[in-house]
A and B are shown apart, each in its own frame.
Chain A
Amino acid sequence: MKLTSEKQMNKFHLGISLGLLLLVGLICFLTGRSFLSLHQEEPIFPSAGLTRQFRLSHYLPNLSHTPGDTRVYLFEGQEKGGNILILGGTHPNEPAGFIATVVLIENLKVKKGRIFLIPQANLSGFTHNDPFEANPQRFFLPARQGIRWFRYGSRLTNPVHQWPDPTTYTNPAGQKLAGTESRNLNRAYPGQPKGSLTEKVAWAIIQLIKSENIHLAIDLHEAAPEYPVINAMVFHERAAELAAMALMDLQMEGFDFRLEASPPNLRGLSHREWGDNTSALAVLLETANASHGRLKGKPSVALIVEGRDNNYVRAAKLGRLFVPYDERGIPLSRRVARHLAAVKTLASYLGELFPHQKVEFSDYPSPQELLQQGFQPFLHSPRQER
């Protein structure tokens, strides 16, 4: 009798164990599918002005076939002129830089000089989300016909691609940082050809700047509204005059920027290392992104695109923010328009300061139109293009 009940108990436990195992398997399958879906790249439809598209490994062959081998889009004019590099997606959780470069790729035509665009500088960072931030995996924007989707990634390289983090990270420029920063592209400059994946990407970008004789290099970012370096144009000292001239024009256009000199002791960042290690004039642009901050309310697609958050309205009233912020929020269209206006103005003053470095282009997306009409006129239809 006792033996039978023991057998029954064993059977019961076996049943429970198998049931739990199946449940775990099902959860692994469903969530694994969700995480892996982030490896699918969003389509980008270049304009007719695109001259060439290639991978960053062109400048560092051992980057080839790695998750960091991102696309480079080259727009080349008939005439020789200046060379400009524009980087978006250094931090894939700062979508304004990414989308600004996408909008440029899908519309731009260059008549004179060359423009290099990298929309997803840290391509690996687009394949995962930051744990504990609970951000959506994707956000959606209206296109000429239909809706386009874009990934909202992480600030850092995917740990699946670069692991483990050291306890502390001394970057190639000698700055000591928390270990997780070893996966932050904007702390890894000037990079190392045989370093980590992130350092290789940084190294390849530096090689691009050097070998293509880039005159002006711009890194597009976003920051939380409570962060002091916000709505800023951070410039390397050699780019001070260019930045100051651009600032006046931008303010007249209604875009409030403030100038920040690149701190000489903050090493590993683009505005410092591009300027120190290459002949390019280096500038980094910041806008205010509420979905990026520690004070944000519920993370959502609407928060990313519309940029409205009641917590930030309250924080602004408490004087805790470094940008004006009200119930209207700071929508993505405005953040992208700021970037586009600043890039255009900087490019224009490059030609004024150094006439042989002049870059001329057409079909440049108008920041004012973007403010008024949103993204629809500037993004190709997903169906039409296929």
Chain B
Amino acid sequence: MPDYLPLLLMILAFFILAMGFKIQIGLALALSSLLGALVSGHGLALRHLIEGGFGYLETILIIATAMIFMKSLQKSGMLDAFAALLLRSFHRHRLLLLFSMMVLAMFPGMITGSSTTAVLTTGALAAPVLMKMGLNHLKTAAFIAMAGILGMIAPPVNILVMIMGAGVDMPYVGLTLPLLAIVIPLAIIFTLWIGSRGVKSLKQSELEEIIASLPVSDSGWRLYLPLILVVVLLILQSTSFPLVSQLGLPLIFLGGALFTWGLHWKKLNFFLLTQEALEEALPILSILVGVGMFIQIMTLTGGRGWTVLAFLSLPPALLYLGIAISMPLFGAVSAFGSASILGVPFILALINTNAILTSSALSAIAGLGDLMPPTALAGMFAAQVVGEKNYFRVLRYCLIPALFELIFALGFLLGGPFLDKIF
């Protein structure tokens, strides 16, 4: 049986199960993986299904604990208090406020290299402020999703480049300038494109009305302590501070949630909010398990190698087209997987160019994978943060910025020989 056949059958089965029979996406992925194993003669391949299913355990734990942390902040009243504070301070300077929201929503991504962390932490802080400024909830979700992706690409921590660098023995040095050269113009453009169109200036009376509608909390500055603790721990972790670097993101988020509960134990029912947070996260977590199974069986049946080779077989002129299509598309499985499986061969295929510039540009393209369904980590969580159930409605507003990022990054790749002289 040719290597591509089980993969094609798996994709077909997935669409029939998910679209035709409306089976939950995670389960549809798991069942189509099982089918792939069976038709390729590997039997039930239980070991592979479980090994793949656990492949994203780390990501799953990060998402679950970040959701618990955000739920605890929300229940403590911190999100509303923060929105009120920012609106009072900046309501006359809407562009300044928008840009500060963009930087705020990018920040955790910059220090953790994860768009999910950015969206679920400060992205969730920025969302109510943006909506109070008049941005509709879909544009708000698109704004924080794109900010999360930019945060993931921005220095100092770009895990996508680190993964590609590990594959070609390129040390993680000299990347700050090239990455900033990609991220800063995009951040300005995204803010103006998504943010400024649709945001209204607020009159003092409107502002007072909005602020009055926000629940009042008498906890004052204590509200912000858990967030400050988590941000400090995230920064210390990125600087390899002793002990903190060993904690890992799940423990940091869980610690933040427990700290919030400790401060507001009379108001918060920790077990109930944990249950609520996990219930909301469960559909996405199950998708990650399903995707893990899918990619493992795709490799087992030879489909992964066939796919990578198909893109590498493109003539040089079409290679850039292959990069533009395959890397974001593979992000449907995982942006990090895209960097590892496709990014490394693409850097090698472009071996005559500057690897630092190439990997920086490829990371911007791979990062877009976090918008690609079914996983779409940045997009799905951004939709969840604003209470939108249909992610595709959010994706509509991400398309133009994403396309712009793609073209910009391709320009960076093509202009490599010229840019080489600048950086």
Query: Which residue of chain A is the closest to B294 with respect to CB atoms?
Result: A132
A297–B245 contact, CB under 8 A? no
B55–A228 contact, CB under 8 A? no
- Does A176 lie at the interface of the complex (its beta carbon under 8 Å from any beta carbon of B)? yes
Q: Output the residue of B48, B51, B250 with the most chain A CB within 10 A.
A: B51
A228–B348 contact, CB under 8 A? yes
Least Cβ distance of B39 to chain A in Å?
A: 13
Which residues of chain A are near B304, meaning CB under 8 Å?
294
Partner of B296, one of A131, A167, A296: A131
Query: Which residue of chain A is the closest to B349 with respect to CB atoms?
Result: A320
- Does A133 lie at the interface of the complex (its beta carbon under 8 Å from any beta carbon of B)? yes
How long is the Cα–Cα vector from A369 to B300 in the complex, in angstroms? 34
How long is the Cα–Cα vector from A164 to B237 in the complex, in angstroms? 12
A134–B162 contact, CB under 8 A? no
Which residues of chain B are near A163, meaning CB under 8 Å?
248
B313–A170 contact, CB under 8 A? no
B312–A315 contact, CB under 8 A? yes
Other than the given A132-B296, A164-B246, A311-B309, 19 more pairs (CB < 8 A) read A31-B47, A34-B47, A35-B51, A132-B337, A134-B51, A134-B297, A164-B249, A165-B248, A167-B114, A167-B249, A168-B113, A177-B172, A178-B165, A266-B171, A297-B305, A297-B306, A299-B299, A311-B305, A315-B312
In chain B, residues 84-139, which have Cβ atoms closer than 8 Å to a Cβ of chain A?
111-114
B341–A175 contact, CB under 8 A? no
Sample (13) of A-B pairs whose CB atoms are under 8 Å apart = A31-B47, A31-B50, A132-B295, A164-B58, A164-B247, A168-B162, A176-B162, A176-B173, A229-B169, A266-B169, A297-B3, A298-B302, A314-B313
Which residues of chain A are near B249, meaning CB under 8 Å?
164, 167
Query: Which residue of chain B is the closest to A131 with respect to CB atoms?
Result: B55
A131–B52 contact, CB under 8 A? yes
How long is the Cα–Cα vector from A227 to B306 in the complex, in angstroms? 18
In chain B, residues 254-300, which have Cβ atoms closer than 8 Å to a Cβ of chain A?
292, 295-297, 299-300
Interface size class of B (residues with CB under 8 A): 35 or more
- Does B12 lie at the interface of the complex (its beta carbon under 8 Å from any beta carbon of A)? no
In chain B, residues 139-169, which have Cβ atoms closer than 8 Å to a Cβ of chain A?
157, 159, 162-163, 165-169
- Does B238 lie at the interface of the complex (its beta carbon under 8 Å from any beta carbon of A)? yes
In chain B, residues 328-387, which have Cβ atoms closer than 8 Å to a Cβ of chain A?
337, 340-341, 344-345, 348-349, 351
Query: Which residue of chain B is the closest to A27 with respect to CB atoms?
Result: B46
- Does A166 lie at the interface of the complex (its beta carbon under 8 Å from any beta carbon of B)? yes
Which residues of chain B are near A298, meaning CB under 8 Å?
3, 300-302, 305
- Does B251 lie at the interface of the complex (its beta carbon under 8 Å from any beta carbon of A)? yes
In chain A, residues 286-330, which have Cβ atoms closer than 8 Å to a Cβ of chain B?
294-299, 309, 311, 314-315, 318, 320
A178–B163 contact, CB under 8 A? yes
Partner of B250, one of A137, A164, A227, A296: A164
- Does A15 lie at the interface of the complex (its beta carbon under 8 Å from any beta carbon of B)? no
Q: Contacts A297-B302, A297-B305 hold; do A318 and B345 have CB atoms under 8 A apart?
A: no
Q: Output the residue of A35, A163, A178 with the most chain B CB within 10 A.
A: A178
Q: Mark A161-199, 1 if CB is under 8 A from B, else 0.
A: 001111111100001111101000000000000000000
Partner of A176, one of B47, B169, B172, B349: B172
Least Cβ distance of B41 to chain A in Å?
A: 10
Least Cβ distance of B322 to chain A in Å?
A: 13
How long is the Cα–Cα vector from A122 to B238 in the complex, in angstroms? 26
- Does B54 lie at the interface of the complex (its beta carbon under 8 Å from any beta carbon of A)? yes
B169–A167 contact, CB under 8 A? no
Least Cβ distance of A181 to chain B in Å?
A: 6
Which residues of chain B are near A166, meaning CB under 8 Å?
237, 240, 245-246, 248
Which residues of chain A are near B292, meaning CB under 8 Å?
131-132
Query: Which residue of chain B is the closest to A290 with respect to CB atoms?
Result: B305
- Does A270 lie at the interface of the complex (its beta carbon under 8 Å from any beta carbon of B)? no
Q: Lowest 8 A-B CB distances belong to which pairs?
A: A164-B248, A131-B55, A178-B162, A134-B300, A298-B302, A170-B240, A134-B299, A297-B302
How long is the Cα–Cα vector from A320 to B292 in the complex, in angstroms? 28
User: Which residues of B line the A interface, CB within 8 A?
Assistant: 3, 46-48, 50-52, 54-55, 58, 111-114, 157, 159, 162-163, 165-169, 171-173, 237-238, 240, 245-251, 292, 295-297, 299-302, 304-306, 308-309, 312-313, 337, 340-341, 344-345, 348-349, 351
Q: How many residues of A contact B (CB 8 A)?
A: 45
How long is the Cα–Cα vector from A266 to B345 in the complex, in angstroms? 20
Partner of A318, one of B50, B157, B313: B313
Least Cβ distance of A30 to chain B in Å?
A: 6
Which residues of chain B are near A227, meaning CB under 8 Å?
167-168, 348
- Does A267 lie at the interface of the complex (its beta carbon under 8 Å from any beta carbon of B)? yes
B308–A165 contact, CB under 8 A? no
Q: Contacts A164-B251, A178-B166 hold; do A132 and B46 have CB atoms under 8 A apart?
A: no
- Does A127 lie at the interface of the complex (its beta carbon under 8 Å from any beta carbon of B)? no
Which residues of chain B are near A294, meaning CB under 8 Å?
304-305, 308, 340-341, 344-345
B159–A179 contact, CB under 8 A? yes
- Does A76 lie at the interface of the complex (its beta carbon under 8 Å from any beta carbon of B)? no
B58–A165 contact, CB under 8 A? yes
How long is the Cα–Cα vector from A137 to B50 in the complex, in angstroms? 14
- Does A4 lie at the interface of the complex (its beta carbon under 8 Å from any beta carbon of B)? no
How long is the Cα–Cα vector from A35 to B53 in the complex, in angstroms? 14
B171–A267 contact, CB under 8 A? yes
Query: Which residue of chain B is the closest to A137 with respect to CB atoms?
Result: B47
- Does A129 lie at the interface of the complex (its beta carbon under 8 Å from any beta carbon of B)? yes
B250–A30 contact, CB under 8 A? no
Least Cβ distance of B331 to chain A in Å?
A: 15
How long is the Cα–Cα vector from A368 to B311 in the complex, in angstroms? 39
Least Cβ distance of B249 to chain A in Å?
A: 6
A177–B173 contact, CB under 8 A? no
- Does A40 lie at the interface of the complex (its beta carbon under 8 Å from any beta carbon of B)? no
Query: Which residue of chain B is the closest to A31 with respect to CB atoms?
Result: B50
- Does A265 lie at the interface of the complex (its beta carbon under 8 Å from any beta carbon of B)? yes
- Does A273 lie at the interface of the complex (its beta carbon under 8 Å from any beta carbon of B)? no
- Does A69 lie at the interface of the complex (its beta carbon under 8 Å from any beta carbon of B)? no
Which residues of chain B are near A168, meaning CB under 8 Å?
113, 157, 159, 162, 238, 240
How long is the Cα–Cα vector from A27 to B293 in the complex, in angstroms? 14
Least Cβ distance of A150 to chain B in Å?
A: 18
B51–A175 contact, CB under 8 A? no
Partner of A30, one of B46, B51, B159, B238: B46
How long is the Cα–Cα vector from A179 to B163 in the complex, in angstroms? 9
Query: Which residue of chain B is the closest to A164 with respect to CB atoms?
Result: B248
- Does A106 lie at the interface of the complex (its beta carbon under 8 Å from any beta carbon of B)? no
Q: Mark A111-134, 1 if CB is under 8 A from B, else 0.
A: 000000000000000000101111
Partner of A320, one of B58, B162, B251, B345: B345
Least Cβ distance of B240 to chain A in Å?
A: 4
